[in-house]
Structure 1
Amino acid sequence: MPHHDAPTTWRHTRTARLLLDAHGPGDLPAVHALHADPAVWGHFPSGRHTTLEQTVATVAGDEERWAGDGLAPWSVRLAEAGPGSPVVGRAGCSVRRTDEGPLPWWNLYYRLSPAVQGRGLATEVGRHAMTAAAAVAPDRPVLAFLVEHNVASRRTAEGLGLRLVHRGPDTGNPDPDAVRLVYLDRVPTAEVTAALRRLWV
């Protein structure tokens, strides 16, 4: 799907309360600290980064997506703290890939430091990410997947207007009782439905 000249438009942007930037060279320690913090992985402990190499790969992957897709997750800072202030989150939309190629949707991601949770910032950055996704490739739907017991994340997805399109076992989760929910911003096309079935049904 073609995109507009988004890398320069969306690499550095902001909302009312947040500064959003493609990861800079000095962001790695803070991004790693966020993803290694057990407090932000309470609902999905196996997702926590246990090595710096995991975060290095994540940040490198984001840069590849900026270059190839025109959009990827941002480093999130509080606008009131100003440019260069501590990173308090990683959030945005990106195209996930499997061995079969890119998936036909934007994947919405939001992970914020416990220090700034409970202020509606996930909804704020999520809404901005959806606006960016619509500008870059409007035909590609926005999808969010999460575990059912993550009530806060569910509320964020639903508050953004995403609709539940799938509920089932969370394949690959070490917790055999975990239930995966998949939300989408529109009625899924046949292509999207087929991809969802390959992954989760």
Structure 2
Amino acid sequence: MRPTCEDLDEVHQLYADPGVWEHFPSLRHIDRAQTAEHLRREQHSWDEVGLGSWIARTPAPDGPGELVGVGGCNLRSGIAWNLGYRLARHAWGHGYAQEIIAAAQVAAAQVHPDLPVTAYLLEHNVGSKRAAERAGLHLVWRGVDVGNPDPSAVRLVYADRTLDDALLDVLVQRE
């Protein structure tokens, strides 16, 4: 489901959980305004590009079901799709990441098939590396994570195809 303002409380609870930000703790949401802005950006992505992140829930016969996480595909710098997800800790290890990634790849191919699909992750995030590789993405870049408060952080870029240097420069903010 597309995110709406009604999702704010649950999504904020997810994004404020330090356990789901183990790989990049400085991005954890401290207040609801951060989460509200994130949801506005997701809604804008859907309105402007026709794709963004979904609210993922467990199936339920009567109602919306339990929040599993948020994930999907967003347009990055207008030149590539970026797969991403944030799952509640209770949802880890149940295949939800792969379901979100598979749906996002299909949707990206329908909306803009000419754009590469990428995954932009930190090297120490082994779960995300495995998920990207299971999705058929290949490592295309490894280097310093520009803007990360941890100077030792290493950024990995996975993609579904070869990326030229100009595109990589934009994606990894090389000058």
Alignment of 1:1-201 (within 5 A): 21-80=1-60, 83-96=63-76, 102-189=77-164, 191-196=166-171, 199-200=173-174
In the alignment, what sits opposite 1:15? Answer: none
Cα RMSD after superposing both structures: 1.6
Residues 93 and 129, structure 1, Cα contact 8 Å, conserved in 2: yes
How far has the Cα of 1:86 moved from its partner? 2.6
Counterpart Cα distance in 1 of 2:2 and 2:164: 30
1:8 corresponds to = none
The answer for unaligned runs of 5 or more in structure 1 is 1-20, 97-101
- Structure 2 CA distance for aligned equivalents of residues 83 and 134 of structure 1: 30
Q: Is the contact between residue 162 and residue 183 of structure 1 (CA under 8 Å) also seen in structure 2?
A: yes
Partner of 1:13: none
Matched AA of 1:26? E
1:174 deviates by 1.4
The one-letter code matched in structure 1 to 2:167 is V
Tell me the percent identity.
45
**Structure 2 match to 1:18:** none
1:187 partner letter: T
Q: CA deviation at 1:52?
A: 0.8
Deviations 1:125-174 (A, max 9, x none): 10111100001110011111111111011100111011111101111111
In structure 2, list runs of 5 or more residues that go unmatched: none
| TM-score, scaled to structure 1 | 0.82
Give the deviation of 1:189 after TM superposition.
3.8
**In 2: Cα distance, 1:83 partner to 1:159 partner:** 32
More divergent stretch after superposition (114-123 vs 81-90): 81-90
Moved more, 116-125 or 81-90: 81-90
Q: CA deviation at 1:196?
A: 3.1
State the AA in 2 paired with 1:66: W
- How many residues align structurally? 175
1:82 Cα deviation after fit: 5.9
Q: Deviation at 1:121? A: 1.2
SS of the counterpart of 1:30? helix
**Contact preservation (8 Å) 1:108, 1:144:** yes
CA deviations on 1:97-130 (whole Å, 9 max, x unpaired) are xxxxx33001111110000101121011101111
